[in-house]
Every structure is written in structure tokens, then in C-alpha cells.
Amino acid sequence: MLLDTWPAFLEDIPPMPLKHTTETLLVFLLGTATVVTGIIIPSLTAPDMGIAPWAIVFVLAVAYPLALSGLFRRNRADYAFRLLHWMPAILLLLLFLMQAGIRTLPFIASVLDWYTWGWTLPGVATGFFLLVYFCLRVIRRWTKRLVLLVVLFVPFMVGAVASEHYTTWNQEIASVLWEGEWWKLEKDGAGLVAQVDSPSEEASSEKNLEASADPVEESYRERLRAIENRRERIAARLEERHAGEEESTGEEEGEESEEAAPVVEEVSSAESVSMREVSSMPSRLPSSGLSWAAIILTMLGLYTATVHARTRKRAVVC
């Protein structure tokens, strides 16, 4: 009789709650995701950027809590903790709503400037405040979690304030993230585009960037002027890069035609001399192997798989 009822007894055992170490790690990952989202948001504020970059970041922000929903459900995680994992997606959704309503309600431009100030410092600070409140309310290992959150937030706050004084930081972040060709869309009709226009297209498009007496309109036009300047710099940088690639290709073809079988030592010495004679640093260094995004996604996938395997093993043992 006891053997017959034993499997049913095992099925009635409720799942174990989240371990303290696992919950602490999830708190740290949530803080990191919120900080990264806050840093990326200012690079998405250009009106001509298109919806593609925002959609890419928003899909990742939504996939993060969805990937952990099974773990939260099996281990009876607090509902407040589950909702906090939607903070990065909420920050991006607020940005989308503000940019969508800026045409009909011009005063939203000042609200958007305040929202994106200092790497979205107001939104990120709100998310960290709610996360700290959760850590203090649940009591479990709150000192270690508060230390981790402080380690994340203090450097972020310093960098956010410094980014307002060194305005090139946001431009460099945007150029690193969105200048590549992997995310660009083709333009057909009135579709949203996400690519840098050529100088001729900029000249043909009529934009009123003159000074205005209305403070709200002047604030919006000032942002447009800054965006136009950034586009011109990016276009000039791309032209220089393409010209450098063409020159290097021509030089390589000339060297191959002159020497059919070059010696390794001569080639290495010629390259070292050319590296010393370069007047400016290269705009982009060559890379090899997996990117940081692929490494981080692989680590997150391995972590969730490990947690899932241990949870199943613990349920079978119990």
C-alpha cells in the first residue's frame, strides 16, 4: 500500500522556492540589464533612426523576463520580483510612446530630454529604487544584494553625469551600436529607414532648423540640429573609411603584381613600417571569434539550463 501511494505522494510535494544565491544572482542580472538599457536608450532618440534599432533592443528586453518565467513559476518566485524583470522593457516602451506623441504634443520634447538625460538616469534610478525596496522587504541576504546594486549604480551614475559634459560619449556609443550593416533596412515608399543618408539626400530634404521664438519648438529644433551634425560626421567618417579601404585594396593589388612570391620577413617589416607611419588611429579595429553579445547570450543560456537541470534533479530526489 505504501509503495502504491509513494509516486502520488511525490507529485503532491510543492516545488522548492528560489534559492538565496539564485535570487541574488537574478537581482544582479536585473540591475545590469537596467543599466545597459539606460545607456542604450539615448542612442535611439534620433527621429531618423527608424524603428529597427528600438525593435531589436525591445525584443531582447522582452525575451529576458520571458526566458525566466518558467523558472519563476516552478519555484514560486514573488510576483513583485517577476514584475521587476519587465523594467527594461517598460523603459523602452516609455521612450516609444514619447517619440510617437512628440508630433502631436510638442511639449513632450522637453519631457523626452529630461527622461533621456544622463543615460536615462531618472528611469534607471526609479528601477533601482524599486529593486532596493524589494530587497529590503524580503529580508533575505539584503546586505549582499544592496552592495551589488550599489556597485552597479554608483559607477553608472558617475558615467551618466559625465556623459552630459562629454557629449561625444553618446555619439560614440551610437556609432558603435548602429553604424554596422547588420541591422539596416531597405527603404520602399514611406517605410521607416534606419540608415545614414548621403549628403546629397540631406541637401534635398527641406528641414526648418532656424531659430524659433517658441522655447519648446526651439528645444526640438536644437535636437534636430545636433542630429544633423551627428549625421554629417558619421557620413564623413564612412566616406573616409571607404576611401581608406579602396586605397589599401589598390596598394595590395600593386604589391601582388610586383612580387609574385614575397618573403615573410619582408612583408612583416613592411607592415611594421606602415603601422608606424600612420598619422591617425584606425576608426575600427579588426575582430575575430565570437562577439560579446554571443558570449553573454551563451552564458545566460547555460545558466538557465543548469538551474533547470538542478531543479528537476532536486524534485526527483525529494
- For residue 154, pLDDT beyond 70: yes
For residue 94, count other CB atoms closer than 10 A to its CB: 16
Are 87 and 130 in contact by the 8 Å Cβ rule? The answer is yes
- Separation of alpha carbons 13 and 263, rounded Å: 73
Q: With pLDDT > 90 as the criterion, what percentage of the chain qualifies?
A: 29
- Separation of alpha carbons 282 and 286, rounded Å: 10
Q: Global pTM?
A: 0.56
- For residue 8, pLDDT beyond 70: no
Task: Encode pLDDT of 61-92 as tens digits.
Answer: 999 999 999 999 988 888 999 999 999 999 99
- Between 162 and 1, the more confident residue is 162
pLDDT on residue 292: 66
Question: What average pLDDT does range 4-24 have in this prediction?
Answer: 60
Give the list of residues 6+ apart from residue 231 with CB closer than 8 angstroms, or none.
Answer: 48, 196, 197, 202
- For residue 235, pLDDT beyond 50: yes
- For residue 142, pLDDT beyond 70: yes
pLDDT on residue 290: 57
- Separation of alpha carbons 8 and 204, rounded Å: 75
Task: Encode pLDDT of 9-18 as tens digits.
Answer: 444 445 556 7
pLDDT on residue 159: 92
Give the list of residues 6+ apart from residue 125 with CB closer than 8 angstroms, or none.
Answer: 153, 157
Greatest mean pLDDT range, 26-30, 176-180, 202-206: 26-30
Question: What average pLDDT does range 178-188 have in this prediction?
Answer: 50
Greatest mean pLDDT range, 13-17, 48-52, 88-92, 134-138: 88-92
Task: Encode pLDDT of 259-314 as tens digits.
Answer: 544 544 444 444 444 444 444 555 555 655 556 667 777 777 888 888 888 888 87
Among positive and negative, which fits the CA dihedral 112, 118, 120, 126? Answer: negative
Are 73 and 207 in contact by the 8 Å Cβ rule? The answer is no
